[in-house]
Structure 1
Amino acid sequence: MDTLNYLIDGFGVALAPHNLMFALMGAFLGTLIGALPGLGPANGVAILIPLAFTLGLRPETALIMLTAVYAGAMYGGRISSILLNIPGDEPAMMTCLDGYPMARQGRAAEALAISAVASFIGSLIATVGLILLAPLLARFALTFGAAEYFALFVLAFATLGGITGKNPVKTILAAALGLMIATVGIDLSTGVQRFTFGTLELYEGVDFIIAIVGLFAVSELLVFIEEKAGAGREMIRVNKLSLKWKDIREILPTSFRGGVIGFISGVLPGAGASLGSFISYTLEKKILGSKNRFGEGDSRGVAAPEAGNNGASSGALVPMLTLGVPGSGTTAVLLAMLISFNITPGPLMFTQNADVVWGVIAALLIGNFLLLVLNIPLVGVFVKLLSVPPMYLLPMVTMVAFVGIYSISHSPVDLYFMVAFGVAGYFLRKLEIPLVPVILGMLLGPEMEKNLRHAMQISDGDWMVLWSSPLSITLWAIAIAGLVLPVIVGPILRRRMKAGAQPD
């Protein structure tokens, strides 16, 4: 009953005219960003964070807008997958398998509409799951002590391989780099300067908003300049939509199954939307057996991965809101935005900032309907955007980032730091070192250090306190499994995904 009351209060926040306006704007911008190959939801949210500060938005309004951007980008990723056979981001890869063949058969509008409906169903199922599961997990997390929280942070880093899908050694190096950056500044416990080199601007540490925009937005521009991808791509023509009720009825069971699988994948730290999309597609292929035409333009082959990846995107909010541990790269960026508003995600957030949490959850429900309404009639607008050369789009996006960062502090030094992080991000990407672990190390490092010190003070320096309770031992065991399993299972999974990407 308390959950229902909180949700009603959340609708009161989400339905405020200004919040509704920013949710609509976020959904539209997110779909545009998702449609552009290579940008993806993490980049989209990172680029628009400065806009939240520039406009002076309240925490709940900013989070509602950026969550709508996140959901919209997950929707938008299907547009380039279906029309260009180029995934907007990694989770949309499986949509190419049947979406592009449908478009080649003159059914592009049908494929886009089916993917929008499946995305809506998957996201709706996951949002309901978020409503039911998040309060229970938050109450459970209140039993955590300093040692358990430290073990939880270790678990977050151990499962990063699942989020990034990269080389585990490079992932660990990136996380270590982020933890090193997190130690810059004056130690609040001892007052000792750490790695400031006498620079006044570093006394308060490195602002992770500057780091995020530099690593994602500026490095994206540098990579583009190197590749010189100047011209837009020729697209398949979108026919007039002629979707019938029997077409929707055919994909309903597939979408419901994909939504459930995606939600479970999103809740599991490190699993993410890519896994949800892959499992939804392959499982549906097995369930349908000889009745499917997967790889040849089967509408259910579009619905399954779309429901899976959108279910996972909402599911990834569960560990972020309840435990302060992001379930995906994009939720790591959202976590940074919350911390910048002096809001600490975790179980206490559900009591101390209930308006923010439940406002966002209610906005997710509303946003799903907004996205469904936007995506079907405005497909033509999003399609035309793909024909605009990136040489015009990316500089404009980067200019928004520069103006946004400067508007936060009015300090030219912050712009220098942002450019420095952009150059560093460019070289990290060339070395195929993932950027998300760097950000996560910066975000979780201070809290991880604080809990470690607290545990040491309580135990009078006895390290055994870190694994003295059944809960902490369980978390350590899961962390070790999360670190070891990707090394063993990862290559097998990647081989199967590549095999699944080939039409039968």
Structure 2
Amino acid sequence: METLNFLLHGFSVALMPEHLLYAAIGALLGTLIGALPGLGPANGVAILIPLAFSLGLSPAASMILLTSVYAGAMYGGRISSILLNIPGDEPAMMTTLDGYPMAMQGKAAEALAISAIASFIGSLLATIGLIILAPILARFALHFGPAEYFALFSLAFATLGGVTGKNQVKTVVAAALGLMISTVGVDISTGNQRYTYNILELYEGVDFIIAIVGLFAVSELMFFIERHISEGAGSATLNKLNLKMSDILHILPTSLRGSVLGFISGVLPGAGASLGSFISYSLEKKVVGSKGYFGKGDPRGIAAPEAGNNAAANGALVPMLTLGVPGSGTTAVLLAMLISLNVQPGPMLFTQNAELVWGVIAALLVGNIMLLILNIPMVGLFVKLLSIPPKYLMPVVTLIAAVGIYSISNSALDLYFMVGFGLVGYLLRKLEVPLVPVILGMLLGPEMERSLRHALTISDGDWSILFSSGLSIGIWTVAIAGLALPYILGPVLRRRMENARARMEIEEEAD
């Protein structure tokens, strides 16, 4: 009953006219960003963070705008997957297996509509799961002490291999780089300067909003210029939509199964939307068996991964809001936004900032309805966007980010830092070093250091306090498993995904 009262109060926040406007703008911009191959939700949210600051939005309005962008980008990723056979982001890769063949059969409109409906079901069920599970997990996390929090932060870094899908060693190097950057500034315990080099602007540390925009937006501009400077994606034609109620009922069980699997993947640290879409597609293929024609344009092959990856995206908000530990790259960016708004994610968020957190959750429910309404009749607009050459689009996007950064502090030095982080991000991406661990190290580093110092102060310097409770031992055990599992399961999952795509290509050539 208490949760229901909080949710009703959240709707009173989410349904304020200005918040509805920000949710609609975020949903539209997110879908547009998601439709562009390569950008993805993390880049979309990172690019628009300066806009939220420059407009002087309240914490609730800022988070409603950015979470709507997040949800919209997850929807939008399917558009280029179905029409161009180019995944908008990694979780949308499985959608290409049946989405593109269905489009080649003259059913592109039906494929896009089915994917929108499945995305809606996945997001809706995951948001309901968030409403039920998050308060329970938050109450449980109130029992955490500094030793348990240090173990929890270690768990977040241990499972980064699953979030990024990259080489574990490179992931650790990236996380270490982020932790190093987080130590820049004046030590709050001793008052000593650390790596400031007498630069006044570094006394308060490196602003992670600048780092995020540089690492994601500026490096993305450099990558697009290098790879796609003369390319346009080409226009795609749509047939007239002819979707019957029987078609929707046909994919409903698939969407429900995919939503449950996706939500579980999102809640688990390090699993993420890519795993959610893969296991949803794989399970559905086994459930349907010989009755299906997966890889040849089966609508259930679109519904399963779309429900799975959208449910996983919302599920990843659970550990971010309740524990302050992001479950995906995009939630790491959202976590940075919360911290920059002086809102500390964690178990106390649901009591100290109940209006904010429940307003955001209610806005997710409202935003899902908006996205369903937007994505079916306005899909033609999103298709037109795919024909814009990146050499025109990306500089405009980066200019918006730069203006937003300057408007926050009116400091030219921040722009230099942004460009510097962009160069670093470009080099790291060229070396195939993931960027998310760098951001996560910058975000969690200060709290991790405080937890460690607090624990050692309580124990008078005895390190055994870090392993003194059953809860901390359990977290450390999961962390060790998180380090090991990517080596065991990662190659198997990647090989299966590659095999599924190769089989589809072979069958296409045979036809």
TM-score, normalized by length of structure 2?
Answer: 0.98
Residue number in structure 2 paired with 1:317: 317
Aligned to 1:179: 179
Q: What one-letter code is carried by the residue in structure 2 that aligns with 1:499?
A: N
Q: Secondary structure at the match of 2:433?
A: coil
Q: Note if 1:383 corresponds to 2:383.
A: yes
Superposed displacement of residue 422, structure 1: 0.2
Partner in structure 2 of residue 75 of structure 1: 75
* Paired position in structure 2 for 1:396: 396
1:13 matched to 2:47? The reply is no
Q: For residues 390-414 of structure 1, what are the alpha-carbon distances to aligned partners after superposition, in whole Å with 9 as ceiling and x for unaligned?
A: 1110000000010000000000000
After superposition, what is the alpha-carbon deviation per residue over 1:68-100, rounded to whole angstroms, capped at 9, x for unaligned?
Answer: 000000000000000000000000000000000
Partners of 1:123 and 1:234 lie apart in 2 by: 30
- Show CA shifts across 1:279-317 (max 9, x none): 000000000010010000000000000000000000000
CA contact (8 A) 1:78 1:112 kept: yes
Structure 2 residue aligned with 1:422: 422
- In the alignment, residue 253 of structure 1 is paired with which amino acid? P
| Cα offset, 1:4, TM superposition | 0.2
Residue 165 of structure 1 corresponds to: 165
SS of alignment partner, residue 257 of structure 2: helix
Q: Distance in 2 between matches of 1:450 and 1:7?
A: 33
SS in 2 for 1:38: coil
Distance in 1 between residues matched to 2:375 and 2:68, nearest whole Å: 13
2:134 is aligned with 1:143: no
User: Which residue does 1:241 correspond to in 2?
Assistant: 241
Deviations 1:422-451 (A, max 9, x none): 000000000000000000000000000000
Paired position in structure 2 for 1:107: 107
Q: Distance in 1 between matches of 2:209 and 2:227?
A: 27
CA distance in 2 between counterparts of 1:428 and 1:492 reads 26
How far residue 231 of structure 1 moved from its aligned partner, in angstroms, is 2.8
* 1:414-493 matched pairs, under 5 angstroms: 414-493=414-493
CA distance in 1, matches of 2:486, 2:264: 18
Shift of 1:224: 1.5
Which moves more between the two structures, 13-22 or 228-237?
Answer: 228-237
Distance in 1 separating the partners of 2:231 and 2:332: 32
Give CA deviations for 1:436-473 in whole Å, capped at 9, x if unaligned.
00000000000000000000000000000000000000
Q: CA deviation at 1:233?
A: 2.2
Q: Secondary structure at the match of 1:293?
A: coil
Aligned equivalent of 2:283: 283
Stretch of structure 1 that moved more, 189-198 or 228-237: 228-237
Q: Which residue of 1 aligns with 2:96?
A: 96
**Equivalence for 1:303:** 303
2 CA distance for matches of 1:189 and 1:18? 42
Displacement, 1:349?
Answer: 0.5
Contact 2:115–2:306, Cα closer than 8 Å, also in 1: yes
Q: Any conservation in 1 of the 2:235–2:384 contact (CA below 8 Å)?
A: no
TM-superposed deviation, 1:383: 0.4
Match of 2:132 in 1: 132
State whether residues 104 and 236 of structure 1, in contact with CA within 8 Å, keep that contact through their aligned partners in structure 2.
no
**Structure 1 letter corresponding to 2:370:** L
Q: For residue 60 of structure 1, report the CA deviation from its aligned partner.
A: 0.6
Matched, 1:211 2:211: yes
In 2, are the aligned partners of 1:186 and 1:205 still within 8 Å (CA)? yes
CA distance in 2, matches of 1:236, 1:225: 23
Alpha-carbon separation, structure 2, partners of 1:430 and 1:58? 37
Q: CA deviation at 1:230?
A: 2.3
CA contact (8 A) 2:316 2:331 kept: yes
- C-alpha displacement at 1:226, in angstroms? 1.7
Q: Runs of 4 or more off by more than 4 Å in structure 1?
A: none
Q: Structure 2 CA distance, aligned partners of 1:159 and 1:492?
A: 17
Which amino acid in the other structure matches residue 443 of structure 1? Answer: L
Residue 455 of structure 2: SS of its match in structure 1? helix
Deviations 1:220-262, CA, capped at 9 Å, x for gaps: 1111222243231234411010101111010000000001100
What CA distance in whole angstroms lies between the structure 2 residues aligned with 1:421 and 1:10?
37
Question: Matched residues in 1 for 2:396 and 2:299: separation?
Answer: 36
* Residue 45 (structure 2) pairs with residue 45 (structure 1): yes
Q: C-alpha offsets along residues 169-205 of structure 1, whole Å, 9 cap, x if unaligned?
A: 0000000000000000000010000001111111110
- Does the aligned pair in 2 maintain the 1:84–1:235 contact within 8 Å? no
Aligned counterpart, 2:326: 326
Match of 1:478, as an amino acid? V
SS in 2 for 1:443: helix
- Counterpart of 1:472, as a letter, is S
Distance in 1, matches of 2:183 and 2:161, equals: 23
What letter matches 1:398 in structure 2?
T
Q: SS at 1:296's partner residue?
A: coil
Shift of 1:334: 0.1
Match of 2:373 in 1: 373
Determine the C-alpha separation between the residues in 2 that align with 1:485 and 1:257.
Answer: 24
Partner in structure 2 of residue 190 of structure 1: 190
Please state how far the C-alpha of 1:367 moved relative to its aligned partner: 0.5
| Contact map agreement 1:103 1:236 (CA 8 A) in 2 | no
2:251 is the alignment partner of 1:251: yes
Give the AA of the match of 2:482.
Answer: G
Q: 1:179 corresponds to which letter in structure 2?
A: L
Shift of 1:500: 1.8
- Cα distance in 2 for partners of 1:269, 1:13 equals 30
CA contact 1:30–1:69 (8 Å) conserved in 2: yes
CA–CA distance in structure 2, aligned partners of residues 100 and 189 of structure 1: 57
Contact 1:138/1:350, CA 8 A, preserved across alignment: yes
CA distance in 1, matches of 2:132, 2:297: 36
User: How far apart, in 2, do the equivalents of 1:385 and 1:494 lie?
Assistant: 31
Using the TM superposition, give the Cα deviation of residue 145 of structure 1 relative to its aligned residue in structure 2, in angstroms.
Answer: 0.2
Q: Conserved in 1, the CA contact under 8 Å of 2:228 and 2:390?
A: no
Aligned partner letter, 1:251: I
Partner residue, 2:498 = 498
The residue type equivalent to 2:203 in the other structure is Y
Structure 1 residue matching 2:417: 3-state secondary structure: helix
Aligned counterparts of 2:123 and 2:132: Cα–Cα separation in 1: 14
Partner Cα distance (2:228, 2:22) in 1: 34
Q: Deviations over 1:357-388 (max 9, x none)?
A: 00000000000100000000000000000001
2:275 aligned counterpart, secondary structure: helix
CA distance in 2, matches of 1:182, 1:161: 20
**Alignment partners' CA distance in 2, 1:112 and 1:220:** 27
The gaps in structure 1 that reach 5 residues or longer are: none
